[in-house]
Chain A
């Protein structure tokens, strides 16, 4: 069974502070991990995926298979980063994403 855990429902930081949104997963196969973001009054959209190893809007995430984690990090948070962040797990040919319950990030001025 696929499972994604985001332990923090709410995370509040000040502008310029580092931020880390935690994500742990459970999956017996080869995982495909994603971070999706939903800004206020916008639709859910892809932020980044582990296979791309890219940095988007200053965010990075590293897949740690040993710890089954895919934490999202940014060294200096900006107010425009305030949003709902979802970690998602896909895998193999089951053609679905399993989402965590999300973390609401608030970046205070």
Chain B
């Protein structure tokens, strides 16, 4: 079966712009989570969606937002980009939610560079 697909793979944006990243989960998975990965901070949880509802949110400013559609596809948006938002953004899907002793399947990530 097809894995988690993230688009685009690479993005270059200018400070102050906004960006939207997309994630298509594995078919049948209803939980989608987003993580930011940077060399300094490692993998940090952004938010998790299940059946179009956000169930948890990490400690990120309000410029970071997300949503999930009825087909479980998810998007995350970052507004007013800052240089520090440059990172690899990873999406992960699972059947019922991560940490519930279920396996999380990760996408290959979107590499965002803010200049």
Contacts and interface: CB of A to CB of B under 8 A. Distances in A.
A32 B101 contact: yes
Interface centre among B4, B48, B103, B104 (most CB of A within 10 A): B104
B58 interface: yes
B39 to A, nearest CB: 10
A69 interface: no
Interface stretch (B20-28, B69-77, B78-86, B92-100): B92-100
A86 B107 contact: no
Nearest to B44: A99
Interface residues of B, number: 28
A95 B58 contact: no
Nearest to A100: B42
Interface in A50-104: 51, 86, 89-102
Contacts of B92: 44
- Top 7 closest A-B pairs, CB basis? A90-B99, A99-B43, A95-B97, A101-B42, A44-B106, A96-B45, A95-B48
Given A46-B104, A89-B99, 9 more contacts: A43-B107, A51-B101, A94-B99, A95-B33, A96-B58, A97-B99, A98-B45, A99-B35, A102-B42
